[in-house]
C-alpha cells in the first residue's frame, strides 16, 4: 500500500463536519429606473434618477450604428430628453443609422453637454 492509498483510506474514515452557514448575504435592491445604484427599498429611485424626474427630463446619449455587433460608436454629447419622448429638447432624434437613445452609466449624473439643449432649457426656464 502506497502513501496515496493510505491518505484516501484515512479520508474516507474521517467524518466530515457539517457546513456552518454563518450569515447569508442579501443584496441591496437596485434603482428601479437605471439599475445602477443601491437604494434602500425595492422600487425606489436613486438620487440622480429622482433629480431627473423632478426636473422633467433625463440625460441620455444617442447610440450610433451597430453594424457588426461590437461597435457602439455613440456620440459624446449628453442631451436632455423629456420622459416618454423620442426627441431631445434641441430637436435631435434617432435617425436611420442610429439605434436610439441609451442610458450611459458613465454619464449618469453628468451635466448636459449639447449646446442647443442648454440654450433651449435656459430660454424655457427664464
Going by C-alpha positions, the residue among 37, 45, 49, 119 that lies closest to residue 79 is 119
Q: Of all helices (H) and strands (E), which one includes residue 79?
A: strand 79-82
pTM over cut 0.75: no
Q: How confident is the model at residue 108 (pLDDT cuts 50, 70, 90)?
A: low
Contacts of 70 (CB under 8 A, 6+ apart): none
Angle (CA) 32 36 42, round 5°: 30
For 21-68, the pLDDT digits (tens) are: 777 777 889 888 888 888 888 888 888 888 888 888 888 888 776 666
Upper half-sphere CA count for residue 20 (Cβ side, 13 Å): 2
**Ramachandran angles phi, psi of 79, nearest 5°:** -100, 160
Q: Where are the domains of the chain?
A: 23-55, 56-126
Amino acid at each position: 500500500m502506497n502513501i496515496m492509498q493510505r491518505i484516501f483510506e484515512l479520508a474516507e474514515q474521517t467524518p466530515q463536519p457539517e457546513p456552518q452557514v454563518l450569515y447569508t448575504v442579501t443584496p441591496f435592491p437596485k434603482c428601479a429606473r437605471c439599475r445602477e445604484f443601491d437604494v434602500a427599498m425595492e422600487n425606489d429611485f436613486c438620487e440622480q434618477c429622482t433629480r431627473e424626474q423632478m426636473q422633467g427630463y433625463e440625460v441620455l446619449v444617442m447610440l450610433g450604428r451597430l453594424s457588426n455587433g461590437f461597435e457602439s460608436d455613440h456620440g459624446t454629447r449628453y442631451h436632455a430628453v423629456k420622459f416618454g419622448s423620442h426627441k431631445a429638447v434641441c430637436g435631435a432624434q434617432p435617425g436611420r443609422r442610429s439605434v436610439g437613445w441609451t442610458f450611459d452609466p458613465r454619464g449618469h449624473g453628468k451635466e448636459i453637454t449639447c449646446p442647443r439643449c442648454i440654450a433651449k432649457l435656459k430660454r424655457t426656464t427664464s
